[in-house]
Amino acid sequence: MTDITTNEGVSIITFGNIPFDSESEFICKVFSAAAREKINIDMISKTPVSAESTSIGFTFSDEDMPRMLKAAKVINADRPPMINSGNVKFIIKSAEMITGVGFAESVFRALAAAKANPILITTALDEISVVVRESDSTDFETELHRIFD
């Protein structure tokens, strides 16, 4: 059985061009600033190091945007972060992911059929979380139910 849930009003902030030699320190600074502002961080994504730099992004509620902007000023990154709001997060959960194959392919087939581009993807042992633009969310949800129901 596959369980599909949605969360609306999701924002993503991404800090890029983080030097590899100060990566952990910078990420700690980001999360400390968010914690001081009482921002609940959800999905976290970090790119692999490329050319001695990396990026980190995470989701938070659109309602927390004023506090996130305040926290971002404190972080004082080399370049301003990219912020994207008004998105929808889908959580596709199934025990099938633990031992089965092709589950991720099915999720990407739904994305392709809906012509929805994922903004952020994270996985856990038995789930895939995908953030898409609100304008893509209805078609993506329809395709997910077509494939998994």
User: What does the alpha-carbon distance between residue 120 and residue 132 come to, in Å, rounded to a whole number?
Assistant: 7
List Cβ neighbours of 123 (8 Å cut-off, separation of 6 or more).
97, 104, 129
What domains appear along the chain, each with residue ranges and CATH number?
A: 2-7+86-148 (3.30.70.260), 10-85 (3.30.70.260)
Q: pLDDT tens, 10-22?
A: 999 999 888 888 8
Q: In degrees, to the nearest 5, what angle opens at C-alpha 5 toward C-alphas 141 and 55? A: 90
At 14, the amino acid letter reads T
pLDDT tens, 80-128? 899 999 999 999 999 999 998 999 999 999 999 999 999 999 999 999 9
| CA separation for the pair 41, 33 (Å, rounded) | 11
